[in-house]
Structure 1
């Protein structure tokens, strides 16, 4: 029986054990953050993607992060402030001032994928209509909505007032999804610019 206001033993154990979160790392610091988490005894995961790189006159297999700029860790509310201050950690991914929890099932699935011996590769979870920001190239920083044109990915850059826009072909790897569209063409509603959200620790 669970008494209202009093956590069950399972809830208490989960709270003490912590929950999985995503740590945003500084550029090229994913492995350093992983190593620091390991030394401090934190449960962690840095999915690795083996890649073949040309090294002078021969090819060499290197281990690159599957998700560049991110490392996962299981943290409790009591130790998040400690981890966010580690060298190489930028912030804990979240929104509205709170860190976002990653389900155990998703972490377990990632572990199985990276250990199963089957080939795998990174992919962007993007759908047509998603609000995105271009992160590389001459249009870096420009916001729009992802659309499809003749089997290619395009970013729709529009003028809300005119309800019209232009599309620019772009690789899916060169955009990042954002939470709110910069505008909303066709809806008649004004959009708001979305700023990247992050949290220190909660």
Structure 2
């Protein structure tokens, strides 16, 4: 079985995940808690980490089953093949989301463009390229995962 990336209608990520789980399809919609501001109040809400994407874990032959959910649009493709996510990448996302907010990454005296190995936090042992260093934050690129991290200074 492989993890595939399913593209959903906007704002349907949680609904699609619930509907797929209800019909027995293993899926993962990573959620984060964000504070939203309304005119009269602030509220913490759970929002998807990746807009319009849900990860589904199934056999190649079972891919059409996901379209039983009205919010499922299509699979994400890469080089004319359905995009697959490795099990260890899903595990890293889960580990990162379950880690306490206190995780810190030391960049030290590294220069822009230099490749470093992250030595703490949820991305420990991942290779990253220092893209930007400012007075308040660092921008690191995790090429193996295809993501960019913006980390605040201590």
Fold conserved between structures, TM > 0.5: yes
Query: Which residue of 91, 109, 112 corresponds with 1:108?
Result: 91
Query: Which residue of 54, 70, 74 corresponds with 1:87?
Result: 70
Shift of 1:85: 4.5
Aligned residues: 107
Residues 45, 73 of structure 1: 8 Å contact kept = yes
CA separation in 2, counterparts of 1:105 and 1:84? 26
Structure 2 segments unaligned to the other structure (5+ residues)? 104-112, 114-130, 135-145, 147-154
CA separation in 2, counterparts of 1:31 and 1:59? 22
Which residue of 2 is the match for residue 71 of structure 1? 54
Give the superposed CA RMSD: 2.4
Q: Point out the structure with max Rg over C-alpha.
A: 1
Deviations 1:45-72 (A, max 9, x none): 1111211112343211011111101011
Which residue of 2 is the match for residue 20 of structure 1? 3
CA separation in 2, counterparts of 1:35 and 1:119? 30
Residues 84, 92 of structure 1: 8 Å contact kept = no
TM-score, normalisation: structure 2 = 0.62
Structure 1 segments unaligned to the other structure (5+ residues)? 1-17, 121-127, 129-147, 152-176, 178-202
Residue 54 to residue 71, structure 1, CA distance change in 2 (3 Å): same
Q: What is the 5 A alignment of 1:41-52?
A: 41-52=24-35
TM-score, normalisation: structure 1 = 0.48
Matched, 1:60 2:43: yes
Shift of 1:37: 1.4
Bigger share in strand: 2
Helix, strand or coil at the partner of 2:60: coil
